[in-house]
Structure 1
Amino acid sequence: MKANIAMKTIVLVLAGAGLAIGGYWVGSQGHGSIQPAAASGSASGKSGEKIDSKTGRKVLYWHDPMVPGQKFDKPGKSPFMDMELVPVFADEGGTEGGVKVNPTLQQNLGIRYATVRREETRDAFELVGTTQFDESVAEVVQSRVTGYIEQLHARAPMQRIKRGDPVATLFVPEWIAPQEEYLALKRSGNDVLASDARDRMRALSIPDSLVAQAEKTGKAQRNLTLTSPVTGVVTELAVRDGAMVSPGMTVAKVAALNKVWLLAEIPEQQANLVRPGMQVEATFAGGTDRKYSGKVREILPGVSTTTRTVQARLELDNRDGSLTPGMLMRVQVGAEKAVPRLLVPTEAVITSGKQSVVLLAGENNTIQPVAVTTGRDIGDDTEILSGLTEGQKVVASGQFLIDSEAKLKAVLPKFSSPEQEHTQGTNHSSTEAGPGVYRATGKIEKIAPGALTLSHGPIPELKWPAMTMDFSKPKSDAFAEAKVGQDVEFSFKEGDDGSYMLQDVKPVGGGKK
């Protein structure tokens, strides 16, 4: 009986051991995840928060500084290096990719912040067009009689002219005889016949001003001066000196410049968004600081088969006469209704081509890159569709120093706090050898053809604790005098492949151990 009980006990123990070993094997194979052995140094706070037992600070996660991409939710021994995992604290801005910038450095670098705000803005899009004369206010200078151009005052097209300025002087032979008859009857005192002669002159289109001049001088007036009805530009000039003109013939055409047309090209997809009466603002390359206001006059029928655009005729205010036909202008058309949008200054958005990023300011002087989805540009601002909320602060200047962690590696020591800088000084670690070069002291544990294995103390610039690791040699025969067990001072820098290359190795104090 006792033998049976002992046999059952042995079987149960072996089965439990088998299950334990099988569970361990399954767990070690699951998804390739590595969990360090639990160690002292952590405690759970409210709502499962991780608290460091030594400092009492909130911990986001633990990691190996040599493999920062792998995160652990418990402290312990690193599975990659002979070292303890390092906690990343919440008050250090420990989110991956973030940095902490002390206020003094912020002021020295000129880092400026802007607040994410929500504003009512109108949908707007830009068009391109060229200016033209406003044909609706163009005037023509015509002759009502048969005559000859005795003198042409407007000598060429596109000549500027003012209202009342002479355009051409005509010699009208048919007007001489009626005027002489009228003057003779006037001198004879026969008022009835003189009045009839005056009516005949009006029928011949002889102006009253010309008749008055004949009465004043007592001589028939042989010339008629045609003047400009508006201030503008002579767009057409159909005659030359000595040419014969007939009734109804156009001598010149004058276009006013107080308003100009702008013929804009609208993409076919946006044609339905533009309607007559919408307000516009236009600028041209010769004066981008000057804006011209106007409105959409009409949408011309038809779509261009080559550009797939619809033409819109815009009317711009040009009372100062600074616009002339043929100017290429950019036009911004605004929608009638305003829509609330989340906006940040355009200079705060860093665009890499694949994504857009802003640098978000957090607590305790931390700065964190955040990927955002951008909408349209509205003036000096950019619409944010996702990634930010109203009231947050973003970096508006100085991003070139903090736009990515890769670019920060050469200047990370500058971003440390004053306490860290003091600690660095006491640990013989500095970047005096050049940007991105670090110095430390350690002990040679192993010598290989391509590397030295060194056990060294903490390196605050890289947030490394004391550990043992391999450093590559620049050449296989470099540091020939180095010996195992020797205490040395060494400098190194990170290579492009992520390895760490030794720059210099010399015994501590200049002696050998």
Structure 2
Amino acid sequence: MTTIRLLTAFALGIGLAAGGYWTSQQSLWPSGLLLAPPAVAAERPALYYRDPSGAPFWSAGPKKDSNGRDYLPVYDEDEAPSEPAKPKQQADSARKILYYRNPMGLPDTSPIPKKDPMGMNYVPVYEGDDTDDSAVKLSPGKIQRTGVKSVPVERRAISVSIRAPGTVQLDERRVSVIAMRSESFVQKVADVTTGTRVKAGQPLMEIYSSAIAAAAAEYLSTINSKIVGGIESYGRGSRQRLTNLDVPEPVIAAMEKSHVAPVTVQWSAPRDGIVLERNAVEGMRANPGDVLFRIADISLVWALIDVAERDLGSIAVGQPVAIRARSFPGRTFSGKIAVIYPQVNRDTRTARVRVELVNPDFALLPDMYVDADIDTADAAPVLAVADSSVLDTGTRQVVLVDKSEGRYEPREVKLGRRGGGYIEVRDGLSAGEAVVTSANFLIDAESNLKAALKSFSEADAPRATVPSSDMNGMKNKGDQQ
């Protein structure tokens, strides 16, 4: 033990002597050869530089303002070197200590100074660092690093577009079928094939029917008869028989004018359209009910859209719809919802919606695939926030309200429609309040940690009422152990 004390005293004496020698040599050393003092520790890297006048201007690197003054650096601890920093102990002594938290971040607090099992002191939490409104406070440096951005809440029209696939179908009211009502024979067929566009009244074929020939002869005999009384009613019956056999009206009118029954009857197109089906062949026999021609007018077509069941509450008859055919990229056909079919497909969980489309150039063809955009936007503006502002846990939706000065408050909201990158807020916010639109997950994580610590501190509140004498006794007992 004596040897250790002698060695310590010897080392201390050598250090003092060396220090005195260095001091004396400094005064004797030539000014030109005076050694530079030890280098000061490297300055901390600046986060960014702010305007020296306090204006809201910043720069990523050193810069001068219009008056030639240097921008002031802002460091991680948010202390500019040009401004004298207040000593931390002096600043902390001026604030009230609320409680002490575990130094390892565990959910454990204490109303008095305390050590954890590792011997580390509990960290004091001062008034202002913790608030009762669950707000999270971030330093300007952390806000700059994480890129936190806030946007005021505004009223705007929510544009909600429902997209659904579909196909083009014929208008059922614009399809005509030519079929015989009696046994007939096709004598001649015009130069008309499937896909040919025809006009109303254009000849399609000539047929011979014994039933039609007999009805025509009977009608002409009543017209040429000289018998007086009952002839008019008898003639009307004969003419009606020709009509029942579906003889075209122009053929009957020609018979009345010429008083000659034709051997064959010419059949014409009943409407403008496209020949979808041709089954007539020269010389064939057509039985009653056989379809010889099917003609459709496609100047107006239907788009049958399959809308998901969840979107049925957002659509209504009369809403505008934009149709895009996959065969014509970049072209849009406009229409309106005409019918919402009252049935949901049990397999696909979709409902069919009919949209009527004008097709003047016959570009849309039956069974063509299309995509529909149904605009369900309401003209009335509503309170809305960007969709990136909402933190959705599935059971609750939260936004972070910017309370200024680096304080952010989590607030639960009730949402409405979504569309166009915005979400309607029905309850929880007011117009003009600023909400965080980016880096909100980081703030939410800190808010959840703070809420957990606060809940544990409230659970430990009854232990904070233990008298100080008992606490001292417990502390002394712990020290003895």
TM bin, normalised by shorter chain, reads 0.3 to 0.5
- Greater strand proportion: 1
What is the TM-score when the length of structure 2 is the normalising length?
Answer: 0.44
What is the TM-score when the length of structure 1 is the normalising length?
Answer: 0.42
